[in-house]
Amino acid sequence: MLNIEAVNFHYGETHEQCLHDVSLHVKAGECVLLCGESGCGKTTVTRLVNGLIPHFYEGEFSGKVVVSGLDVTKTMPDVLAGTVGSVFQNPRSQFFSLDTTGEIAFGCENLGLSPAEIRERVKKTSAELGIERLLDRDIFALSGGEKQLIAIAAAYALSPEVFVFDEPSSNLDWNAVGELAHLMLRLKQAGRTLIVAEHRLYWLAGPIDRVVYLRGGRIAGDWQAAAFLALPERERAELGLRALNPEALRPSASMVVWEQAPMQEQAPTQGRTAPNLRVSDLSAWYKRGEPVLRGISFEARPGESVAILGGNGAGKTTLARTLCGLNRKAVGKITLNGSKLSPKARAGPFYLVMQESGYQLFTDSVENELLLSKNRRSRPTSEKVGEILESLSLTDFRERHPMSLSGGQRQRTAIGTAMAHEAEVLIFDEPTSGLDYQNMRRVVAVIEQLRAEGKAVFIITHDYELLLAACTRALVLEDGRLKADFPLTKDSIGRIKEIFSWTQASSK
Amino acid sequence: MSLDPRVKLLILVLINVVVFASPDLATEWLCMGVIAALLAWMGCWRQLVYGLLFYAGMMGALYLCGLTDNFLTAFMSMMIICFRKVIPTVFFASGLIATTKVGDLVSAMQSLRIPKVIVIPFTVTLRFFPTAKEEFAAIRDAARLRGLRFSMERTLVPMMMRCANIAEELSAASVTRGIESTRKRTSMRELRLGASDLGVAVVFSALTVFAVMGGLPLLMGGVPLLHA
């Protein structure tokens, strides 16, 4: 079905070789996982398959790629569109229409199918994928997960034999990932060939037949699924891969923090036992109508790291935005170090590290970013900036433009700005979405450092691996109410597993 | 009631002709009245109320300027009149946007044989408004988190960067969905002109002819009812 023969490639603007002598043969109906650390070339391989290389991304290319009998380099992308369907990482930037039905029809309209045929295909697609409920909806009002389902449907409507997915789960919560997994199984049962590049692996354990591992642009491993799933945890971590089977993640596995588990059981450390943050009876609204948060109360101590858990619409984001003073439609009391703070006064002591930290950088260099402050008095000294950069391993990038950094480096720069301005409460929104194992470990290290400095850390996450490695407590939100608030210990881990409930999600 | 998007586009053009050909205020009022009736018929009550209130406000301001006679008020009257001339078009356009799907509008443009090089950028532009809004809100939030005041440079530079990124991803996605196809593009919805489309088109065409020929003063023997 797919033959990649001795492909070498590097992108036009760089001189670094991106793929070295890559050869890959995939049989019809096979589901192949492409994995490896960030920058290993797995996304580039997906672009070979859907023809974006060489038709869209230019560069130096040698070798041969044949999909379903078509030579990709000699076939126009619109002909390939009917053979290879593509689903991308970012659900926000792969839509053309404003409504879902129009989006599913978009490809068919481009290829000039008759109106009756297009209507038939839209109907068939939505029925076969079980997404009728999403038809005729405003795309901008859909959740990330629903957008990904529409992206798959839009590709499916052209009835391609091969699907390529480029990190499709990056921006999704675990419920949405469950639905995505379910849909992948359906595609596989329908005999389609699936090529998936991914960091998060656990959800693919069901559909995959084969795993191809890339390192530095070369294929460095090729396993049958069963053999790959049987790899010991240690070896998996050495390959720089995320967990395959979260159920099997033992707290002791490679988790440094958990090897010192008693520390967490005895949390709070260093004698700083008094809570410095108190939230009492907080209710908040988003636009008009029903409150999104209802009467939430909790406390946090310096050095604590609290996971905020809950499904879609539970109020996690609203809680974060209200704490930071971004959402002002709220009643209740928030005190920090004994003084009640208005929403405006909270911007500063409270800081939100956004999922896309690229938004949070405003200047032309990493150093200036840390120096940028609302007034002269609050400007940090340059020694302090130096220390912070050192602690975040950003010293070498001091003069670099933030936009030229990798995602992980940008995220650390954003954290650095909060440290430079002495924020006391840091809230992370999905800090590890789309990160590989190395980068996830880095986030964990930064969080540990913030805790050691006595910051209170909150983490909105759907990443079980991160949770095990970095959190000491969990707040569980449901329907805007605080459903549970408990310390994370070896005994309470069962409750967390219940919340994540992969088994339910993947067997749905 | 829904109208064929092609008829809506036609009306949009005709309203412009009517407004700029209107010899006096009364004809302009007649035009506003016809548009108001059409919006009511399409069920755009909100646009109807806001549009009429806004127009009334403009007329009120014009009246106040007319009470005294000096350079400043004369200048302001002139500005208001220029601005007022655009209101009927915007009035109807608000109803058009509220009742038309982008896909339908695109199909309409295609069936009018407007070339693809215009239609595709037009779609992308429409698609970009909500995105730009989201991006802008996110950047504003980020600035507020750090207590930074709004500044053009701090807002527009990250905004450009983000939009350039999104534009590239969007283009890559569209290439894999066959946007570069040389075949004639089709549309899921087939457009058909109904009796109501025809009726509305006739009403507006008549109004246009009437305004161009001289408007209401024509009936009154050439005496303008109200000066514009």
Q: Residue A499 is encoded by which pair of tokens? A: 């919340």
More confident site: B158 or A223: A223
In a domain, B181, yes or no: no
Considering only CA atoms, which of A354, A90, A420, A50 is closest in space to residue B145? Answer: A354
In a domain, B226, yes or no: no
pLDDT tens digits for range B139-170: 889 888 888 877 777 788 788 878 888 888 88
| Domain extent for B62 | 5-101+191-219
B86 and B22 in a common domain: yes
In a domain, B141, yes or no: yes
pLDDT tens digits for range A71-107: 999 998 889 999 999 999 888 888 888 889 989 999 9
Cα B109 to Cα B116: distance, rounded to the nearest angstrom: 9
Any chain A CB within 8 A of the CB of B161? yes
Mean pLDDT comparison of A158-162, A469-473, A503-507, highest-scoring range: A158-162
Sign of the alpha-carbon torsion through A15, A17, A18, A19? positive
Any chain B CB within 8 A of the CB of A449? no
Q: Provide the 10 A C-beta neighbour count for residue A321.
A: 22
In a domain, B135, yes or no: yes
Would the pLDDT of A312 be above 50? yes
The verdict on a CB contact (< 8 Å) between B186 and A122 is no
B112 and B58 in a common domain: no
In a domain, B205, yes or no: yes
Any chain A CB within 8 A of the CB of B69? no
Residue of B138, B158, B176 with shortest CB distance to A77: B176
> What does the DSSP 8-state code read for residue A99?
B
Any chain A CB within 8 A of the CB of B121? no
B79 and B14 in a common domain: yes
More confident site: B82 or B205: B205
ipTM: 0.82
B151 and B94 in a common domain: no
| A353-364 b/e (C-beta count within 10 Å ≥ 16 → b) | bbbbbbbbbbbe
Return the residue matching tokens 């910051």: A455
B95 and B67 in a common domain: yes
B97 and B119 in a common domain: no
Considering only CA atoms, which of A14, A9, A15 is closest in space to residue A52? Answer: A9
B88 and B69 in a common domain: yes
CA distances (Å), A235 to each of A206, A241, A243, in order? 21, 9, 11
Distance of CA A416 to the CA centre of its chain: 21
Residue type, A394: L
Give the DSSP per-residue string, A361-416. --SSSHHHHHH--SSGGGPPPHHHHHHHHHHTT-GGGTTS-GGGS-HHHHHHHHHH
In a domain, B77, yes or no: yes
The verdict on a CB contact (< 8 Å) between B142 and A359 is yes
In a domain, B80, yes or no: yes
B117 and B11 in a common domain: no
Would the pLDDT of A271 be above 60? no
Return the residue matching tokens 């161009």: B212
Any chain B CB within 8 A of the CB of A78? yes
B204 and B157 in a common domain: no
Give me the half-sphere count of Cα atoms (radius 13 Å) on the Cβ side of residue A9. Answer: 30
Residue B126 is predicted with a pLDDT of 74
The verdict on a CB contact (< 8 Å) between B144 and A326 is yes
SS3 A336: strand
What are the backbone angles phi and psi of residue B225, rounded to the nearest 5°? -75, -50
pLDDT tens digits for range A180-211: 888 999 999 999 999 999 988 888 888 899 99
User: How would you list the strands of the sheet with A19-26, edge to edge?
Assistant: A19-26, A2-11, A59-67, A70-71
Q: Which of residues 304-343 of A touch B (CB under 8 A)?
A: 321, 324-326
Q: Which of residues 16-55 of B touch A (CB under 8 A)?
A: none
Would the pLDDT of A323 be above 90? yes
Q: Mean of the per-residue pLDDT values for chain B?
A: 85
Q: How many domains does chain B have?
A: 2
Residue of B nearest to A353 (CA): B142
B112 and B71 in a common domain: no
B125 and B62 in a common domain: no
B201 and B165 in a common domain: no
Q: What is the pTM of this model?
A: 0.80
The verdict on a CB contact (< 8 Å) between A111 and B141 is no
In a domain, B44, yes or no: yes
Cα B143 to Cα B157: distance, rounded to the nearest angstrom: 13
Cα B77 to Cα B81: distance, rounded to the nearest angstrom: 6
